[in-house]
Amino acid sequence: MDYRKLGHSGAIVTAYCLGTMTFGAEADEASSHKLLDDYFAWGGNFIDTADVYSAGKSEEIIGRWLKARPSEAKQAVIATKGRFPMGSGPNDIGLSRRHLNQALDASLVRLGVEHIDLYQMHAWDALTPIEETLRFLDDAVSAGKIGYYGFSNYVGWQIAKAAEIAKARGYTRPVTLQPQYNLLVRDIELEIVAACQDAGMGLLPWSPLGGGWLTGKYRRDQTPTGATRLGENPSRGMESYAQRNAQERTWAIIETVEAIAKARGVSMAQVALAWTAARPAVTSVILGARTSEQLADNLAAAKLLLSEEEMTKLSDVSQPHVADYPYGAGGTNQRHRKIEGGR
C-alpha cells in the first residue's frame, strides 16, 4: 500500500483515489456501492466526488454508503467540489461566499456528514474576487466544516495568485490541485506543476487513462464500437476523437504503452497509471472505473513499479509539442530545464 501526504497537509491518502462521477449515471446505486466496497477492501481510503455529479446523486449515494458502513466511514477521506450550478438562479453558481455557503451546506447534507476533508473549487470564477473565495474557505476551516481546500482546473497564474494571497493574509493555504493529466495530456508541466510545487500543493490527476485511449480500446482509423463511451454514444466526442486519432504522437504513445505492458505481463491501463502516479508532485491518481473488473485492473497498478528506462521511454515519446517561445525552442524555460537537468 502506498500512502502519501495530501499536499503539504498532514492528512494521509492512498496513491489511488476512487472517482465517483459515474455514480448515479453510468453506475446505479448497487453498482456504485459495490465499487466502494471493492475499493476499501483493497485498502483505499480516498473518495472524490462533486455536487454536480449526477445533479447531487453521487454525493447522496456515497452518503448512504457511509451511513451503512461506519467502520469504513471512519477511515474515509472525503473530497467534493463546488462551483457549478445546482439551480437556475443567478447566485446558484460561482465561487462567491453566498453560493459556496449554500453549496457546502448542501454537500454536507447529501453526504450525511458534519465535516468534509477536502473541499475543492471546481473551476476558476472570474466574476468573484479571489479574496472573497479564500476568506470563505478560511472561515469554513475555522468553523470545522472542512479540513482542507484545493482547486480544480486552475492554470498557473491562478494557482500562484491564490496561494500568495492566502499566505499574505494569513488564511489557510490550498493543499491540492485536480487537473487533467496523463501521457496524452501533459501541458500542465509547462507551468501548472511548477506553480503547485512552489505552493506545496499536491496533484490529484483526473482522466489518467485519457478517456480510455491508454487502455488500448481504440485502434488507429477504426470507428469506436461496443462497450466504450464513444461506441455506445457515437455523437459524443467524435470531433475530439478524430483530432486525437489523426496525431502520430497519439499512436506512438499507445504503441509504447502496449509494448511495455506486454513485456511486463500487465494491462496497458496499469502502465499508464503507474507512470502518472510516479510523476513529480502527484499525491493521488483518480480512478473513474465503471465496473468492478475495471477497478480491480486499475488498482493492480499500485503493485507496478516502472523501471527508470521504462519511465524514460514513456516520458520521451509523450513529450508535449511546444514549437516556440517561451516554452519551446529558444525559450528561457526550455534553457532552464536543460541547465537544471544537467546538474
Whether the Cβ atoms of residue 166 and residue 172 lie closer than 8 Å to each other = yes
Which 8-state DSSP code applies to residue 123?
S
C-alpha cell of 65?
454508503
Pairing of strands 12-14, 3-5: antiparallel
Whether the Cβ atoms of residue 6 and residue 175 lie closer than 8 Å to each other = yes
What letter represents residue 276's amino acid? T
Phi/psi of residue 202, nearest 5 degrees? -90, 150
Query: What is the DSSP annotation of 37-77?
Result: HHHHHHT--EEE--TTGGGGHHHHHHHHHHHH-HHHHHH-E
Catalogue the E-assigned strands of the chain. 3-5, 12-14, 16-19, 46-48, 77-82, 116-121, 146-152, 176-178, 202-203, 285-287
Nearest to 136 by CA among 112, 177, 169, 111: 169
Instruction: Return the number of other C-beta atoms located less than 10 Å from residue 291's C-beta.
Output: 16
Q: Is 241 a catalytic residue?
A: no
Catalytic one of 3, 16, 39, 53: 53
Residues assigned a catalytic role: 53
